[in-house]
Amino acid sequence: MNAADPKGSLSLVITDSGLGGLSICADIVSGLQERRAYRSVSVTYFNAWPEQGRGYNLLPGMAERIRVFDRALDAMLRFRPDRILIACNTLSALYPETAFGRKAPVPVTDIIGYGVEQIHAYLTKRADGRVILLGTPTTIEAGTHRSRLIEKGIDAGRIVCQPCDRLAGEIEKAPEGATVRAMIEDCVGRAAGRLPDRRLPVAAALCCTHYGYSRRPFEAALRARFGGPVAILDPNRAMSEALLAGLPRRSGGDVRVDLEVVSRIVWSEEKIGAIARLLEAASPLTASALRQYRHDPELFTF
């Protein structure tokens, strides 16, 4: 975002398929309140999850996933955004193939580039380091992170891609619960089996915005499987910081932030409570907006 006229306004749509991107939303909302670069800010968190009980990974193939997300993108324009932020690796992987992406009437920023830069920096500094790319089946199938890293000169043998099927949904219910811990241990264990020397440095790249809610279980799983230095690479904060970096800090004056969370599907009280509690410290406004989200079954159609 460019430096703002202090009398100006800003309208953002932040989208994810689920609740993971709310961590990015919380950081951005908090940063906008602190910097006061705009007098009036409208933020819409648009849940692009398509159907109750069936997300993008369960849609029949890439073509259908792209088509459905394309319709969601068109619907986001109703909120009159100055910019759309795709706070989701799965949707970011689909975006370049959408018709909307070829003619976007507003700037669109996706999260994959931030993750690729973070991973590239880690591997460049550690000649013997390896990275495990952890993401949804759609993100791993698309292969965008891997292909961009190879284009940047990273040897493919240093990259292990590990899909974590249904993990994001379980994280929404209990980010550090027994089921989540078991699934993370299984995913990390499968990836570790493809890395012969476990004494070398290794990083887990959290290529799903939900996974940051479970950072501690990921760290524990890495330390249990590897004897060398381990690291967690989470692009969520990198995305929010980059988008806030160009804004001036304005002393004095009020800033009004209107935040709405909208969803085509219904979220359970269990999920709302689990994620809202995590958001409270970073942004009470975001936590409150989640608890008061608006269910709109006609949010987008496909």
* pLDDT (tens digit per residue) in 188-243: 999 999 998 999 999 999 999 999 999 999 999 999 999 999 999 999 999 999 99
Angle between helices 22-35 and 284-291 (to 10 degrees): 130
Predicted local confidence at residue 16, as pLDDT:
99
Q: What are 243-252's pLDDT values in tens digits?
A: 999 787 877 6
Q: With 0.85 as the threshold, say if the pTM is over it.
A: yes
Give the chain's domain count. 2
- 117 and 104, same structural domain? no
Residue recorded with tokens 């993108």: 73
- 95 and 242, same structural domain? yes
Host domain of residue 229? 112-235
Residue 195 belongs to a domain = yes
- 91 and 57, same structural domain? yes
Q: What is the pLDDT of the chain when averaged over all its residues? A: 96
- Check if the beta carbon of residue 25 is closer than 8 Å to that of residue 44: no
Predicted local confidence at residue 164, as pLDDT:
98
Q: Is the pLDDT of residue 6 over 90?
A: no
Domain's final residue, options 235, 251, 273: 235
**Residue 43: φ, ψ to 5°:** -125, 125
Q: What is the mean pLDDT of residues 11-40?
A: 96
